[in-house]
A and B are shown apart, each in its own frame.
Chain A
Amino acid sequence: MKGRMTWFNVTSVALGFAFLYIPILLLVIYSFNDSKLVTVWGGWSTRWYAGLLNNEELMKAAWVTLRVAVVSSTIATVLGLLAAIVLTRMNRFPGRTLFSGMVFAPLVMPEVITGLSLLLLFVAVGFDRGFWTLTLAHTTLTMCFAAVVIQARLYDFDKSVEEAAMDLGASPLKSFMQVTLPIIAPSVISAWLLAFTLSLDDFVIASFTTGPGATTLPMKIYSQVRLGVTPEINAISTLMIGVVALGVIVAALSQKRAMVRQQAETRAVDAGAK
């Protein structure tokens, strides 16, 4: 029978989730540890969070990370939107298959290779590595994710809605801004959030493409851990987990809301057809 709760099923699910989440849970709990020693429990405290605010280096890294994430995910969403439109709307143009393959290749490309190739490019053209090289690198990484998310929505977009807008006198740009974009907005938002979280926790590409003065949080954490784990690291990591989880949850919710609304519309039309 399907969906039966056997002991075997329950155990395997429990073990799977434990494997996934116990380390994270441990980190979160130890971020509230009063003791200076990471492995010794000394009672509850939030002093490491308060201490974070005074740790200038960590705060600076967090600020860099945030700025890079916002700028790169915004550029990536715009580029991804354009790529998705071209791929869904222009059915036949020479090299379409090649183009779509090239847009999505970075999805499966090892990050080390993306990072290395970008580093070589920046060196070759003589870009000073720092905030902008890092932002560009993250844009290339996240653009294809944004394109995938938006393209999925555009595929089942009723094109006659856009035609109706044009028929009523709206230019293609106006009909896109007033009709298409508001309708696909949930997928654009979730594309942005996905790009944002990807940029936030990237370590590999950042370490290739950034320079002095633009150290990101994941890099900072890594370099500090090499000198020994401090409770502060646990605290900042917990905050990062929180931000990423929030981003993912909001993205999922906005997608789901859009889907539910779409289903409601379809139902209404079907009911009318009967």
Chain B
Amino acid sequence: MLEDLTQKLETVFQKLRGYGTLTEKNVADSMKEIRRALLEADVNYKVVKDFVSSVQDKAIGQDVLRSVTPGQMIVKIVHSELIDLLGETSTQIKIAGIPPTIVMLAGLQGCGKTTFAGKLAQFFRKKGRHPMLVAADVYRPAAIEQLKVVGKSLDIPVYSEDSGEPVKICSQAIAEARQQTCDLLILDTAGRLHIDDEMMRELEEIKEKVKPHEILFVADGMTGQDAVNSAKEFCTRLEFDGIVLTKLDGDTRGGAALSIRAVTQKPIKFIGVGEKYDAIEQFFPDRMASRILGMGDVVTLVEKAQETIDQEKAARLEKKILKQDFNLEDFFDQLQQIKKMGPLDQLLGMIPGVGSQLSGMNVDDRSFVSIEAIINSMTVLERRNPKILNGSRRRRIAMGSGTSVQEINRLLNQFGQMKKMLKNMRRMPRKGMGNVPFNMG
């Protein structure tokens, strides 16, 4: 996500950093390019206008032209303005004093409300809450059925009625939640156009009668200039508390994030980054700004690692590395853990400097497949002691895994290098569990 914008801005910055001194023309030119990059990323043109002019004002005010590193100064200004635009701090969902906490989702058709409802439920269950989903979309064919399927596959209760008023369904769901001791209620409302007065009134009515603690506006991350219109209307009608952006795992430049935030002044709380139910991330403005500017996002990466990597296994692995008997079995284990953390290209994008180099390359989880196949075709003995792999064993493994002897050699080489690296690491002071080698070739 956002790679294109990142890349374009980086080109501008590189040019800027290259100048020893900046002329006003340099600055004006780069502002023009920034403007274009943002517009191409679907940021609303009014928002772009304001953004560029405020960067320009600050640049002039801070005597950028006379500073020692003028280019760097402008990058800094853009970065801080971007954070400003995205909102200062990350905001959490309000939890009600008396359960259940009611979270209401609203948005246009096809923005991904139902999928997000599942993700949110899963997100909170991981945090120890007991969510319940409420099917309040009585209009779209099979919408209730869809939520039921989502609930079933996540093993989360779903409250639904075959027909009836959404307002009534929601009210009854509260009683049901109390009965089942669920402390979090997620209302999945029908998608609707912001200009459909009748449907918008229904949302107002739900808000009034059910009094949700949190209303989230769900928006498709690929939305163009129109994002501001729908967001503004939903905001005035509902006064929602936060924004959710979905489908950010494509190659959209996600300008809608900036636009919606700018016109509503509401915080973006979550982003959806995939089809699986754990593909949900809390939104951190500063991290996102860094990502947009190609500075990487190490914090999220580390958190992801902590969330998915089995601590016990990690400890065992550390011991093994210390004793220098790290073998292919452990290597295989690590691969599985990295895979659990999420799609490889997303992970790599979070490493500073990698994001922009990655564009155009098709990093795919399938680069793991042949490695896995090779290791799976080895005997236990071979995995534990790769040294015994002679020519005929390698040929057999190549046949078994559908690869070639060359590929096996390459893997073994890499593995050898990694072992060497780990040996060196042993001498370095260690901090926590920093031993996830990313040397996949």
Answer yes or no: do A and B interact.
Answer: no
**Chain A contacts to B: CB under 8 angstroms:** none
**Chain B contacts to A: CB under 8 angstroms:** none
